Amino acid sequence: MSNPFFEPWRTPFGIPPFDSIKDEHYLEAFNEAFAEHNAEILKIAENQAPATFENTVEALERSAALLRKVGGVFFNMSSAHTNDVIQNIQMEIAPKFAAHQGQLFNNQKLFSRVSAIYSQKEEAGLAEDQQQLLEETYTSFVRAGAALTENKREEVQQLDEELAGLRTRFGQNILKDTNSFELVLDATEDTRGLPESVLKAALGEGDQRGKPGQYVFTISRSSITPFLQYAENRELREKIYKAYTQCANNDNEYNNHKVLKKIAALRARRAQLLGFESHARYMLDDRMAKTPEAVTELLDKIWEPAKIKVNEEASDLQDRIQEDGGNFSLASWDWWYYTEKIRSERFSLDPAEVKPFFELGKVRDGAFAVATRLYGITFEEAVGIRSYHPDVITYEVKDADGSLIGLFLVDYFMRPSKRGGAWMSKFRGQSNLDESVRPIVVNCCNFPKADPCLLGMDEVRTLFHEFGHGLHGLLSQVRYESQSGTNVKQDFVELPSQIMEHWAMEPEVLRSYARHYETGEVIPDGIIEKLLEAETFNQGFATTEYLAASYLDMAWHGLESTDEQDVESFEADAMQQIELLDAVNPRYKSSYFQHIFAGDNYSAGYYAYIWAEVLDADGFEAFKENGIFDAPTAKSFRENVLERGGTADPMMLYRQFRGRDPEVAPLLKNRGLAD
């Protein structure tokens, strides 16, 4: 049987031939890719010529083409359209992948060559991007343990392989436990209070799950959030909320407690082998923040005003409960419901009045139109291109001169084969090393599949947010793929996504895309005013639950002990230390904190969203000062941030765009936390 990974892809734009790729192709392709890459590494390491940037660092950059080809498809499928076979392959491949990476970075001959070039970097006459690539390459070897003794190197490699399997198991457990819960309702009093659009989406979920005519709610955020906002039945709100906060923490095979405490302990041990007191110090050493103290200082600056605000909000909600005749104390599952009541009354915001103006297709087109006005780029649906699922739409993205920028895939609907949340990924990264390689980027969200699909404001922001990541990948203009698009420091990667959210709520932009899905009526100014007035409403809660998760992340990864912790007591102690309000939970509890335990990138890094928000709030001030579609400002942001990827120090790139260091005041103002 032929394997499509071993053949040139003669598809339009070189998109993967999804129709030809079968599950049984992956293992064979991975094994061949590992072998091919090993041969390339051996050739580079054994080169008898003196080490140069070109024959070592650049040669490494050119290597692993087949591995990128296979991994680009497989890891996207394992997130967006998985099945039992793919999950089993993932469990087998994860430690193999870690072992392969370990062999690469523990190759002493190769490290010797990289070190020789690094020691002469000042005299090498390298361009700025090459200097950065050399720095990152050398640092990657050191951080992987290449400078350690042989025994320690072997232990680090063993830890990496074990951690890879544990992280994979953690994510799979969340998906399986999420899919195992359903709240199935008939058209009875149990559905009282739920808007028609929410019920329609629940019927669609029922159809997908083989329960036609029944309303099915899940613990996916797009399903549970509107249920908590509008369902009058308090017992059902409690039931679904507890199912969410107990995800992967139930008495079944998907319980993540053993997995996550093992991950935390092994990460602590690995960090110490590499010369760091904790995993947090190890991870932050390679980020903008640099130290846990710098992260904590930022979190504390925002935590104090947020704590005051959230206590005021809790008091308002308790008063509202009593006004309604409720004889109970505010609980976590009450927060969304009574917040929505106060929001509706205080700002006269009726969801039945607002959501019809935010039909998914129009919101998507609105985001596209913003990019067109800012950067001159256009999006045209590609004809005749098959993707990996019928829900996916593929667009050709072209620059103002008509040249192809890349392909952009949107995958917006939730389904059981797709993990929760929202993300940007790529099937192919941009590069200009030997030829111009155009990127293939994908945005994934988890909106309920309904016709029409009407979005809440959080979902509108999510779409714009992921689109910002997409632009970062699409507009990349770098030489080396490893520096392209979102391949930047973890606490810089959220700047392009979060700054994009600002345009979603600008009145001028709202009038262009927020049109009634039935009548085509432009959203009235009165509704826009209410939406803007409500922008800082409930920000005490939103900020507090996010910061609490950030503190929890730092607590787990600040551990200097390699002993396994009791998850419940550790989490409770971490929240007690920051005096978290009883009625508020961290946005993610440990057992389903996928950001920090299902992968390495956001471990000791969940703070990155608020770090980047300092940048995006300050950065958007430049657009407000000059005009939100000011051409020179947009050109500067494109050239200094979106196009540059990881080719330079991120703070330097920000300064080149903004002309100065960022200030925290705009963030506090935007969240309504400033005096």
Write down the residue that tokens 């392909």 correspond to: 407
- CA–CA dist 492, 414 (Å, integer): 28
| Closest-CA residue to 632 (of 602, 659, 652) | 659
Terminal-residue alpha carbon distance, the chain: 68
Q: Please list, residue by residue across 242-270, b when 16 or more beta carbons sit within 10 angstroms of its beta carbon and e when fewer do.
A: ebbbbbbbeeeebbbbebbbbbbbbbbbb
Beta bridge partners of 428: 440
Q: How far is CA 492 from CA 19, 552, 648, in A?
A: 36, 21, 12
CB of 445 closer than 8 Å to CB of 411: yes
- CA–CA dist 508, 504 (Å, integer): 10
Q: Is the torsion defined by CA of 162, 251, 420, 509 positive or negative?
A: negative
Q: Which two tokens stand for residue 380?
A: 């045209």
Q: How far is CA 404 from CA 88, 341, 438, 575, in A?
A: 38, 48, 8, 50
Query: How crowded is the C-beta side of 192, counted as CA atoms within 13 Å?
Result: 7
- What amino acid positions are annotated as catalytic residues? 466
Cα angle: 21, vertex 27, 29; to 5 degrees: 65
DSSP code string of 419-472:
-SS-EEEEEE--B-SSS-BPPEEEEEEEE---SS-BPPHHHHHHHHHHHHHHHH
3-state DSSP of 330-388: CCHHHHHHHHHHHHHHHHCCCHHHHHHHCEHHHHHHHHHHHHHHHHCCEEEECCCCCCC
Query: Is 515 in a helix, a strand, or coil?
Result: strand
Query: How crowded is the C-beta side of 395, counted as CA atoms within 13 Å?
Result: 22
Q: Which two tokens stand for residue 178?
A: 């999420």
3-state DSSP of 284-310: HCCCCCCCHHHHHHHHHHHHHHHHHHH
CB of 37 closer than 8 Å to CB of 64: yes
